[in-house]
């Protein structure tokens, strides 16, 4: 990693050494907010940001994300987590606390088209995407120079469906070596095996170049052109074993008209793809997303 980015990250970590996030999911019932906010207050924490959602006031699921500051957080972290167990049990909570200064290790997978990868690298360099981009893995050599100019290791692993298992073995090894928390598929045009997907459950973020569920699968721009649509889109979602069917994180669209042929649509689309993927990745890194069934709550 280059020095410039390293410094940005250190500054961020220093500024956020006492900052953490609560993510909680449980059946709705009276008293949850009261119990959690009381818990935080009693432990000397101050709520900075809080966002909640109830699927249905009667018998629905309840979700909350709380960002809080707490003096000497590092020292208190174990205690906080231990003490919270009794609250969590009472309300039957599915919960976690994440610590903002522990930034996540990210891998980016890419094929021959680098625009989405580049957007991630740029946002990273400008300090807007706070992760440790630890490694880039590609089945093409295209992006090597660019990636290395950012001081990031680049691995070329040729891939196709006949050698999927061997390829994934190599990939998994790298992901372990770099202790990867989250994978961004920045237009990586290969299907992953169920075993791979399982290992990184709800931690693999894909960008699909259509407004899902329109144009699931291959060649969406070609099919959009054929259908004569007046807008094209892109969709970022967590990867599951059903192609392009995982929980949607973010979507966006742009206008096209009869003058736009497939080439022109691809150009317009690239710009949507890169911003949609970048937003989805940043929300994941900021622990803003809770997956529930096949949907996302994005706080």
Positions marked active-site: 244
CB nearer to its own copies: give 104 or 266: 266
Supply 16's token pair: 């956020």
Q: Is 273 exposed, middle or buried (0-12, 13-18, 19+ CB in 10 A)?
A: buried
Does position 248 interact with its own copies (CB under 8 A)? The reply is: yes
Does position 211 interact with its own copies (CB under 8 A)? The reply is: yes
CB nearer to its own copies: give 84 or 215: 215
* C-alpha span between 296 and 248 (Å, rounded): 6
Does position 258 interact with its own copies (CB under 8 A)? The reply is: yes
- Binding map of its own copies across residues 96-115, x = CB under 8 A, - = no contact: -------------------x
Strand partners, 137: 109, 155
Question: Whole-number minimum distance, CB 163 to its own copies, in Å?
Answer: 29
CB nearer to its own copies: give 158 or 213: 213
Contact window for its own copies (CB under 8 A) among 78-86, 101-109, 151-159, 207-215: 207-215
Does position 38 interact with its own copies (CB under 8 A)? The reply is: yes
Neighbours of 165 (CB within 10 A): 10
Contact window for its own copies (CB under 8 A) among 97-105, 156-164, 181-189, 245-253: 245-253
Does position 59 interact with its own copies (CB under 8 A)? The reply is: no
- C-alpha to C-alpha distances, 91 to 25, 161, 291, nearest whole angstrom: 10, 46, 19
Each as own residue / partner, the long-range contacts of residues 89-96 (CB below 8 Å, 24 or more positions apart, any chain) are 90/35, 91/26, 91/27, 91/29, 91/31, 91/32, 91/35, 92/26, 92/27, 93/24, 93/25, 93/26, 94/24, 94/25, 94/26, 95/22, 95/23, 95/24, 95/25, 95/26, 96/22, 96/23
* C-alpha span between 282 and 115 (Å, rounded): 17
**Binding residues for its own copies, total number by CB under 8 A:** 60
Does position 298 interact with its own copies (CB under 8 A)? The reply is: yes
CB nearer to its own copies: give 171 or 251: 251
Q: Which residues bind its own copies (CB under 8 A)?
A: 28-34, 37-38, 40-41, 44-54, 57, 69, 115, 118, 122, 126, 128, 149, 211-215, 227-231, 233, 247-253, 257-259, 267, 270-271, 275, 294-298
């Amino acid at each position: 990693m280059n020095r410039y980015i390293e410094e940005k990250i250190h500054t961020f970590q220093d500024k956020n050494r006492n900052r953490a996030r609560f993510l909680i999911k449980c059946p709705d019932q009276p008293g949850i907010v009261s119990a959690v906010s009381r818990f935080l207050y009693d432990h000397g924490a101050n709520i900075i940001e809080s966002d909640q959602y109830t699927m249905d006031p009667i018998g629905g699921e309840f979700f909350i994300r709380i960002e809080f500051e707490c003096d000497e957080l590092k020292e208190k972290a174990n205690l906080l987590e231990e003490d919270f167990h009794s609250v969590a049990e009472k309300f039957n909570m599915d919960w976690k606390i994440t610590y903002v200064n522990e930034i996540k290790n990210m891998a980016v997978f890419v094929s021959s088209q680098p625009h989405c990868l580049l957007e991630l690298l740029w946002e990273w360099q400008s300090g807007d995407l706070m992760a440790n981009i630890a490694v880039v893995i590609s089945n093409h050599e295209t992006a090597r120079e660019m990636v290395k100019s950012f001081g990031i290791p680049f691995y070329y692993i040729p891939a196709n469906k006949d050698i999927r298992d061997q390829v994934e073995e190599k990939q998994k090894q790298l992901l372990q070596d770099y202790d990867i928390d989250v994978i961004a598929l920045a237009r990586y045009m290969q299907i992953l095996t169920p075993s791979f997907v399982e290992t990184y459950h709800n931690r693999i973020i894909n960008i699909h170049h259509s407004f899902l569920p329109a144009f699931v699968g291959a060649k969406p721009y070609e099919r959009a052109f054929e259908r004569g649509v007046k807008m094209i889109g892109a969709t970022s979602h967590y990867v599951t074993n059903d192609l392009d069917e995982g929980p949607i994180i973010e979507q966006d669209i742009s206008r096209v008209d009869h003058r736009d042929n497939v080439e022109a649509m691809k150009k317009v689309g690239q710009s949507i793809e890169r911003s949609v993927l970048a937003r989805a990745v940043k929300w994941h890194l900021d622990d803003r997303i809770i997956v529930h069934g096949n949907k996302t709550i994005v706080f």
